[in-house]
Amino acid sequence: MARSEDQLRLDIVEVGRRLWTRGFVASNDGNISVRLPGDRLLMTPTSVSKGFMAPEMMVITDMDGRLLSGEPGRKASSEILMHLVAYRHRPDVQAVVHAHPPLSTGFAVAGIPLDRAVLAEVVTTLGSIPIAEYGTPSTPELPAAVEPYIKTHDALLLANHGALALGRDLFAAYYKMETIEHFARISLVARLLGRENLLSREEVDRLQQLRGTYGIASPAPVCVDPQAGPDPSCQVVVAPSAPGERLVPDTSFLAGIAGGHAAIGNGGEIQLTYGELTTLIEDAVRHLTARTTA
Ligand SMILES: [Zn+2]
């Protein structure tokens, strides 16, 4: 049964409180909206902490963003254009949540998408989490940047900004935001530990079939082709082929990301950067020279 407008107002208050409590937003960051019957939108207003909202603070707009009702002086969130573009392209989407969770936003700042096949539940539910190009917040640049991705993804990073989650109801969108941040946290820990084994392409294919078996709704299929680059028709995940294997040790990642720190590679060998190797050789030469001149 559809939730009443009163209940949806309470739901937005609750989701805002969870975003704030979990540290997904600071100050007045973030915004939440829900589709209402009659081509209308119920949305958080500007300039309020999402942790301390009341149901009557929400505003109602039409699907062009024009204010229909709200307390005197209240305006719709400055990111309403980004929400509207999501609803316009995705009739299945009933709610949109935008926040700045620190770990996923860190990936968005580093320009590293969360698109590697690492966790089965992320592959089955979200597929990949790409990064939409940077657009100035609250301007039409931001909806233009998310538009190419929103048709095929329920979860996005926004370059140097934050994250966006879409759902068929408000809590579904909120839980996707939790999954984005949880996945970012796990990915960061694995990368700090120096290795990130991937699910094989064959395992990803198996997970894709599970989507069908369990009726997991998704705007587009997962496609596995790390060489192909962005594909506007599917959710591209990085998963190397390894017939008969479920996991693939990932060596290329270590070479590229170790970034000046020695890392432990597959099979336990120590991997050094060129600079570290040079320092070691220089030290050895200095020892030898010291011994021969003594
Ligand atoms: Zn934002």
Which pLDDT score, from 0 to 100, does residue 257 have? 46
Measured in Å, residue 190 CA sits from the centre of ligand 1 at 27
Query: 131 C-alpha to center of ligand 1: Å?
Result: 14
pLDDT for 112? 97
- What is the CA(32)–ligand 1 centre distance, in A? 11
Report how far ligand 1's centroid is from the alpha carbon of 29 (Å).
6
Distance of CA 118 from the midpoint of ligand 1 (Å): 27
Gap from CA of 191 to ligand 1 centroid (Å) = 26
Torsion 132-133-134-135 (CA) sign: negative
Share of the chain above pLDDT 70, in %: 85
User: 74 C-alpha to center of ligand 1: Å?
Assistant: 18
Banded model confidence at residue 212, pLDDT cuts 50, 70, 90: confident
Q: Give the Å distance between the CA of 208 and the centre of ligand 1.
A: 32
Q: CB–CB of 119/186 below 8 Å?
A: yes
Q: Which two tokens stand for residue 104?
A: 């996923």
Cα 246 to averaged position of ligand 1 atoms, centre (Å): 37
Question: Considering only 16-20, 85-89, 90-94, 281-285, which range has the smallest mean pLDDT?
Answer: 281-285
CATH architecture of residue range(s) 5-193: 3-Layer(aba) Sandwich (3.40)
- The pTM for the full model equals 0.84
CA of 24 to the centre of ligand 1 (A): 11
pLDDT for the residue 284? 72
- Structure confidence at residue 16 as a pLDDT band (50, 70, 90): very high
Q: With beta carbons less than 8 A apart as the criterion, state whether 116 and 238 touch.
A: yes
pLDDT for res 267: 53
Other residues' Cβ atoms within 10 Å of the Cβ of residue 242: 16
Taking 60 as the threshold, does the pLDDT of residue 263 lie above it?
no
What angle, rounded to 10 degrees, do the helices at 170-193 and 102-110 form?
60
User: How does pLDDT run across 145-197, given as a tens digit for each residue?
Assistant: 999 999 999 999 999 999 999 999 999 999 999 999 999 999 999 999 999 99
Question: pLDDT confidence of 259, banded at 50, 70, 90?
Answer: very low
The span from the CA of 37 to the CA of 45, in Å, is 19
Q: Tell me, in angstroms, the distance from the centre of ligand 1 to residue 31's CA.
A: 8
Helix (H) or strand (E) holding 37: none
Tokens of 20: 């704030």
Residue 19 Cα to ligand 1 middle (Å)? 13
Separation of CA 90 and ligand 1 centre (Å): 21
Could you give phi then psi for residue 259, rounded to 5 degrees? 50, 55
